A and B are shown apart, each in its own frame.
Chain A
Amino acid sequence: MLYEQHKAEIDGILARYPVDRKRSALLPLLYLAQDVYGRLNRDSIREVAEILDLPYTDVFEVVGFYTLFYNEDVGKIVLDVCDDVPCCFCGAEELVADLENRLGIKAGETTKDKVFTLRRVKCIAACDQAPVLQANLEFHNRVLPDKVEAMLTKLRNDVEAGKPVSISGRLAER
């Protein structure tokens, strides 16, 4: 199904690697499958494994290794707040608390309406922009207290208006 519905994109991905090395396409295909199915459940892992002629367990292991692959349900928008050094000393803890408060969830959880998942993540290479987060891997810099509400409202409105989302970041803008 995945292959039939996204043939051009998948063939394009496969073409980047030598014909006898198509396993290299695993990460990009998992990103695609994750966007199509909302997470990497058994069926989507099996489909990717079949496209690449790989054992299911090999793909399952890869999904578990990388933090940007989700094998559990996540919201339409994954908010990744960096709480690493130095961000944690430059407003990240306050930002996490603020988001937890407004969304009514703890880091690691998803809102009841399945719009937002909130996570704490390690350095995302934007330390000068602290406090900083990514929403579906799109950067939001200097998310100071007065900017949080507007950011959440915009993200929520976009989802409600049916704007395409990609939890894998395949649509991330600057």
Chain B
Amino acid sequence: MPKTEIKEHIVMRNRDIENIRDLDVYLANGGYAMAKQALTSMTPAAIIDEVKKSGLRGRGGAGFPTGVKWSFVPKELNPKYLVVNADESEPGTFNNHEIIDENPHQLLEGIVISAFAIGANVAYIYIRGEFAYGARFLEQKIAEARERGLIGKNLFGSGYDVEIYVHRGAGAYICGEETALLESLEGKIGQPRLKPPFPAVAGLYAKPTVVNNVETLTNVPRIIEKGADWFRSFGTEKSPGTKAVSISGHVKNPGNYEIPLGITIREFIFDWAGGMRDPNLPLKFIIPGGASSNWLTEEHLDLPMTWDDMAAAGTMLGSGAMVVLDTSVPVVRAALKVDEFFKHESCGKCSPCREGTHFLVKVWERIDEGHGRVGDIELLADVGKQMLGKCFCPLGDSSVSAVNSAIKFFRPELDAAIDAQH
């Protein structure tokens, strides 16, 4: 199958233009011209309209239409906030990392335009604590842009002010969930809030707040520049545009790739990422959308990578993180590691997740260590069933993905792991 070409990158423009992270290079390539155009010659409503027409969907995992989200913000309540989700902690995901380090000004320009569109004068970038360099780097970039009058007061003479601050998290996956993120930004432990009210109405400091992912906002200047129709020339009708997807594990060329939405998993793994690393070790399974997603196997390779196709297959595109594993990987160990992650990251607010993840790890661990008991697989399935749908936030449910996937595709291997111990 021929590789679908993309003529230019929308978000990973650093792949097309060397040193675009430098403000001068960014400016020489039309940088901040769209912020100027938006603030001086467009109304917020017109910007929201264009983003709606583009069909841009949130890149942070859920795929919610961005323009629609922006239109939920009540006009009369002030102040409003824009919060940028740069928490990127879903195992397998590292595309925001590249955007921040390599194309920071396009993100910042996207923030300026989006803040103006929703009527926010302050934006916070909540960045995971481990991106310590990224946080410093963004602060530097903001300062540079500020000095040139591209961020700050009375931008481009429009009378509009936008301040952008970087706020570092401190190591907690749950703080990627938007309401836990807001709690953390308020200086508290990161435990999710009950929804509704949604952040659009009562978010940061109980004020109207839009939370958007880094990649989502990085798309915005290009949509304003080239229009919704151009954006829709990439991707599919319901999943327009491109997606920066991280691929890792046992492929020849792991890394980030900006794909047009809708290519098949087969094309992505074999044409874009070079196929399997070791010709003697074929593909065993794929964790297609971050550790939270249900696994796929060889039989699913022709699935198109869009939100809807992946959902229809019982899994998700998620944050754009594909982990490819070959036949050297024992299923029990993989499931154990995935559930160890969720156990470690459970915020402890609700008992099905707090206790459930603990229990899952305990059982996986004893199987992995050679002390599995007859009936342990049924036990895992049963614990999973008791957790699904009963957790306060999606994290708890996510820990059941590994259990159900392992049982669905690798039951004989699991049974053998236990039988071998008796």
Which residues of A approach B to under 8 Å, CB–CB? 16, 18, 21, 23-28, 30-31, 52, 58, 61-62, 65-69, 80, 83-86, 88-90, 121-128, 130, 134, 137-139, 168-170, 172-174
Query: Residue A137 contacts which of B132, B165, B172, B321 (CB distance < 8 angstroms)?
Result: B132
Is B150 positioned at the interface, with any CB of A under 8 Å from its CB? no
A170 in contact with B132 given A21-B186, A86-B248, A89-B250 (CB within 8 Å): yes
Report B90-125 CB contacts with A as 1/0, cut-off 8 Å. 111110110001000000000000000000000010
| Interface SS majority for chain B | mixed
Residues of B within 8 A of A80 (CB): 130
- The reply to whether A61 and B91 contact each other, CB–CB distance below 8 Å, is no
- Count of B interface residues, CB-CB < 8 Å: 59
- The reply to whether A126 and B97 contact each other, CB–CB distance below 8 Å, is yes
The answer for the CA separation of A86 and B246 in the assembled complex, in Å, is 12
- Would you give the shortest CB distance from B358 to chain A, in whole angstroms? 16
- The reply to whether A123 and B167 contact each other, CB–CB distance below 8 Å, is no
Closest B-chain residue to A34, C-beta based? B170
- The reply to whether B323 and A127 contact each other, CB–CB distance below 8 Å, is yes
Query: Residue B186 contacts which of A23, A28, A85 (CB distance < 8 angstroms)?
Result: A23
- The reply to whether A31 and B88 contact each other, CB–CB distance below 8 Å, is no
Query: Residue B132 contacts which of A18, A24, A138 (CB distance < 8 angstroms)?
Result: A138
Can you give 5 contacting A-B residue pairs, CB < 8 Å? A67-B171, A85-B325, A122-B341, A125-B131, A172-B132
Residues of B within 8 A of A85 (CB): 91-92, 287, 291, 323, 325, 334, 337-338, 341
- The reply to whether B337 and A84 contact each other, CB–CB distance below 8 Å, is yes
Within 8 A of A (CB), among B271-315: 287, 291
- The reply to whether B248 and A27 contact each other, CB–CB distance below 8 Å, is no
- Would you give the shortest CB distance from A90 to chain B, in whole angstroms? 7
- Would you give the shortest CB distance from A23 to chain B, in whole angstroms? 4
Is B173 positioned at the interface, with any CB of A under 8 Å from its CB? yes
